[in-house]
C-alpha cells in the first residue's frame, strides 16, 4: 500500500497510510516516493536552509505533503449537495408519514363537522359553562348575541 515511500511517523492508529487531516498533521509516510532529484535535495537540506531556493523548499514540502493546511481545509461546494439530499430525504419521509397517518387513523370523526361544532357551541352557551373566563363569558344572555 505504501510502496517505496519512507515511513516517518506513527500516523493514524499506527497504520502506514498517508492522509491530509487536521487531527493528524504528520502522516505516517511521505506523500511521494523518493527520486534521484528528491534525494539530492534531501542531502542539500541537511546544510543551511538559506542556501535553498524557494522552489526547492516547495519541492521538498510537496515530497512530504500532498496539500497545505489551507488547501485541505478549504470548503468545497459538496456540502450543498449533501444538504440538498438531506432535505429531500426529510421531505420524502414527511410525505410518507402523512400517507401512513391518514391510513392509520382513517377519516375525521363526526364531531369535526360544522353542524356538530355549532351544536356543541350552543350546548356550552345553554349550560353556561365557564361563565367568567370561557366562551359563555362572551355571550350576552339577555340579547342572545355575542358581546
Q: Where are the domains of the chain?
A: 1-74, 76-106, 110-147
pLDDT of residue 24: 82
Q: Which CATH code, of 3.10.20.600, 1.10.442.10, 3.40.50.1970, 3.40.50.1000, is assigned to 1-74?
A: 1.10.442.10
Q: Give the model's confidence band at 12: pLDDT under 50 very low, under 70 low, under 90 confident, else very high.
A: confident
Exposed, middle or buried by CB within 10 Å (0-12, 13-18, 19+), for 41? middle
Alpha-carbon span 7 to 17, nearest angstrom: 9
Q: Tell if the pTM clears 0.85, that is, is over it.
A: no
Q: What is the DSSP string of 83-124?
A: HHHHHHHHHHHHHHHHHHHHHHH-SPPGGGSHHHHHHHHHHH
Q: Tell me, what DSSP letter sits at residue 137?
A: G
Q: Give the model's confidence band at 2: pLDDT under 50 very low, under 70 low, under 90 confident, else very high.
A: low
Per-residue pLDDT of 84-143, as tens digits, reads 999 999 999 999 998 888 788 878 889 999 999 999 999 988 898 888 888 888 888 888
Structure-block grid coordinates of residue 19: 492522509
Amino acid at each position: 500500500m505504501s510502496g517505496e515511500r519512507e515511513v516517518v511517523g506513527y500516523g493514524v492508529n499506527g497504520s502506514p497510510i498517508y492522509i491530509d487531516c487536521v487531527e493528524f498533521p504528520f502522516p505516517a509516510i511521505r506523500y511521494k516516493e523518493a527520486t534521484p532529484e528528491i534525494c539530492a535535495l534531501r542531502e542539500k537540506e541537511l546544510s543551511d536552509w538559506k542556501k535553498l531556493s524557494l522552489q526547492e523548499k516547495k519541492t521538498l514540502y510537496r515530497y512530504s505533503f500532498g496539500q497545505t493546511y489551507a488547501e485541505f481545509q478549504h470548503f468545497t461546494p459538496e456540502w450543498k449537495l449533501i444538504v440538498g439530499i438531506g432535505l429531500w430525504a426529510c421531505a420524502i419521509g414527511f410525505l410518507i408519514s402523512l400517507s401512513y397517518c391518514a391510513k392509520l387513523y382513517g377519516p375525521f370523526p363526526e364531531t369535526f363537522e360544522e353542524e356538530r361544532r355549532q351544536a356543541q357551541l350552543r350546548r356550552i352557551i345553554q349550560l353556561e359553562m365557564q361563565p367568567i373566563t370561557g366562551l359563555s363569558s362572551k355571550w350576552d344572555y339577555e340579547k342572545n348575541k355575542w358581546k
